[in-house]
Structure 1
Amino acid sequence: MGIAAVVFDMDGVLIDSEPIWEQVRHEYVVLKGGRWQPDSQKKMMGMNTVEWSSYLADELGVAEPADEVAAAVIDLMADKYAHHVPLLPGAVDAVRRCAGSWKLGLASSSPATVIDLVLAKSGLLDYFTVVLSTEEVGRGKPAPDVYLTVAQRLGVEPNDCTAVEDSTNGLRSAHSAGMRLIAAPRPEFPPSPDALALADVVIDDLDELTSGVVTGGA
């Protein structure tokens, strides 16, 4: 039947948030006596809340229960976004443009409270029919759970969806779900070459997210 829905990731696709997540987590780990590693942020990209908070506690040595780690970091992120939402260039126009032709879903690894804050402050909330955090499904990315659930709630088959992703785990997640895949990688956190190779098309910015790119047509 062709493409019936577009499913966006949020962090690194609509907002330039990965540097903020890295700063907040890094500072928190150091404050709590943990050991931040150069690849820690890249490893956590795509993890759901339970997974990354456990990673901070178990792997990076934060001496707090994982649920307390999650609550503290989420509060710090919410405070950052309350002052400023770092929308990427072209994000608002891309969402509006796609909403004019397809149902829209959001499949994000951010906590639900953070997603709602970002979408509300950016004026994008009403454009999405389905908004879902990986904390609300069984497994985070690279598992396909969040994309499969978004498609189900949209009432469309996964192979009738186009996903827009940036990270290694996100690309693998959407591909595993069977969606047409558009990669919009961030140069600061480039995906692995093998994950990028899964994409049907790679774009440099959201201005390139045209109807032809979404559907694979001319």
Structure 2
Amino acid sequence: MIFDLDGVIVDSEPVWEEVRRRYVAEHGGAWQPDSQRRLMGMSTGEWASYLSAELGVDRSPEQVATEVVDEMARRYLEHVPLIDGADRVVRELAANWPMGLASSSPARLIEAALRATGLTDVFAVTLSTEQVARGKPSPDVYLQVAERLGMAPERCVAIEDSSNGVRSASAAGTRVVAVPHASYPLDPDAERLAALVVPSIGELTAGTVRELVTPNG
């Protein structure tokens, strides 16, 4: 099992949007209607460059990355928004399969979120897209996590919420369970890539996963 973090375990996408929207406004940029959709899944370097070069922020990509992540870390110190039931689901699945985490968050925020939710010990492998060549929708992070788990991607099930995340996991060859956020619905092409779409992470069970990977029993 390979989990995404933001939007699957922690309801952080609205926090990321709020922080980056405010940052863009405070630094001379202009947020675009499709900005949040484009940003979801990008690695740290990719979204920092996007804010600097395409949204007109008057800071270098390096400054953007440092300052935005610092603000996210401050928010996490106050509160990590665990999605209801996510920790229970993660632990139930971990009792049945090796677990990996493939996240677009910087490593320091992954560590903070897992520590705050009590899930640090559950994942055998955790990896940020900042640690691979390309962020989502490229398959790099999923391929690396599967390799470090010692599993072929085709034998893995990925849990994702965003269109770019689904595209990334599907391109890696995994079977994808999509749990789209109500505020950020999947694009039609991404929804078609998912083997299963569930309305909330709390509805995902080990039995559901077994049916997905062995549909004929």
Give the alignment's TM-score, normalised by structure 2.
0.96
Paired position in structure 1 for 2:203: 208
Paired position in structure 1 for 2:104: 109
Task: Give a deviation string over 1:10-55, Cα, whole Å, max 9, x none.
Answer: 0111111111000000101111111111221111000000000000
Aligned-partner Cα distance in 2 for 1:183–1:64: 35
Task: Pick from 74, 83, 104 the counterpart of residue 79 of structure 1.
Answer: 74
Identity of aligned residues (%): 54
Paired position in structure 2 for 1:136: 131
Task: Give a deviation string over 1:93-144, Cα, whole Å, max 9, x none.
Answer: 0111011000000000010011000001110010000000000001000000
Instruction: After TM superposition, give the deviation of residue 213 of structure 1 in Å.
Output: 2.1
Paired position in structure 1 for 2:28: 33
Instruction: Verify: 1:147 aligned to 2:116, yes or no.
Output: no
* Contact 1:29 1:60 survives alignment (8 Å): yes
Instruction: Verify: 1:53 aligned to 2:51, yes or no.
Output: no
Query: What amino acid is the match of 1:38?
Result: P
Instruction: After TM superposition, give the deviation of residue 208 of structure 1 in Å.
Output: 1.8
SS state at 1:182 partner: strand
* Contact 1:201 1:213 survives alignment (8 Å): no
Task: Pick from 4, 12, 16 the counterpart of residue 17 of structure 1.
Answer: 12
Paired position in structure 2 for 1:123: 118
Paired position in structure 2 for 1:160: 155
Indicate the RMSD between aligned Cα atoms, in angstroms: 0.9
Gaps of 5+ in 1: 1-5
Aligned-partner Cα distance in 2 for 1:177–1:67: 29
Paired position in structure 2 for 1:194: 189
Paired position in structure 2 for 1:100: 95
Paired position in structure 2 for 1:176: 171
SS state at 1:164 partner: strand
SS state at 1:156 partner: coil
Instruction: After TM superposition, give the deviation of residue 180 of structure 1 in Å.
Output: 1.1
Instruction: After TM superposition, give the deviation of residue 212 of structure 1 in Å.
Output: 2.8
Query: What amino acid is the match of 2:168?
Result: S
Aligned-partner Cα distance in 2 for 1:156–1:78: 32
Query: What amino acid is the match of 1:9?
Result: D
Q: How many residues align?
A: 213
Gaps of 5+ in 2: none
SS state at 2:58 partner: coil
SS state at 1:75 partner: helix
Query: What amino acid is the match of 2:76?
Result: Y
